Amino acid sequence: MKPLNILVLHGPNLNLLGTREPKTYGSESLDDINQSLQALGLGLNADVQCFQSNHEGALVDAIHQARLDDVDGIIINPAAYTHTSIALRDALLAVQIPFIEVHLSNVHAREAFRHTSRLADIASGVIAGFGSHSYHLALRGLIQHNKEYQ
């Protein structure tokens, strides 16, 4: 069977993982997370491509490109853009690719401004609070979702 084509998008400041507030975000680097996701993908017959940007427009462009590249599902940690970005919401609505919103930290146990998401109500699922394991759960969830709804 053809591998599923999965895109993982990381938003602003996530390039600093490992050194950024490790008590909140853990000690793994973004490269560590991407490599472990790609290894997990291999075992689950999923081809995992990863992209990080600190710029909203670059993330919007990557979402548009995902449709041209026949991406089957998106895992996105929109980071601070979670709470603000109508542009990311509109891009995800436009491409109509199933996606899962992911957070390392439990955003609901943090400041009130982190309790709202511009994306959650249009996501196939939301996973928060499991550190880097949130991404692994999302990959398993997206693969299962794809089997059930395609």
Q: Which residues bind ligand DQA (CB under 6 A)?
A: 13, 77, 79-80, 82, 103-105, 107, 114
| SS3 assignment, position 63 | helix
- What Rg, from alpha-carbon coordinates, does the chain have? 14
Q: Is 103 an annotated catalytic residue? A: yes
Q: Calculate the CA dihedral of residues 94, 70, 47, 148 and round it to 10 degrees.
A: 70
Q: Which amino acid is at 108?
A: H
- In whole angstroms, how close is the CB of 132 to ligand DQA at the nearest point? 10
Burial of 9 (0-12, 13-18, 19+ CB in 10 A): buried
**Active-site residue (options: 103, 135, 136, 145):** 103
Minimum CB distance to ligand DQA smaller for 103 or for 136? 103
Q: Name the residue nearer to ligand DQA (CB basis): 34 or 82.
A: 82
Cβ proximity to ligand DQA, 42 vs 122, nearer residue:
122
Residue 25 known to be catalytic: yes
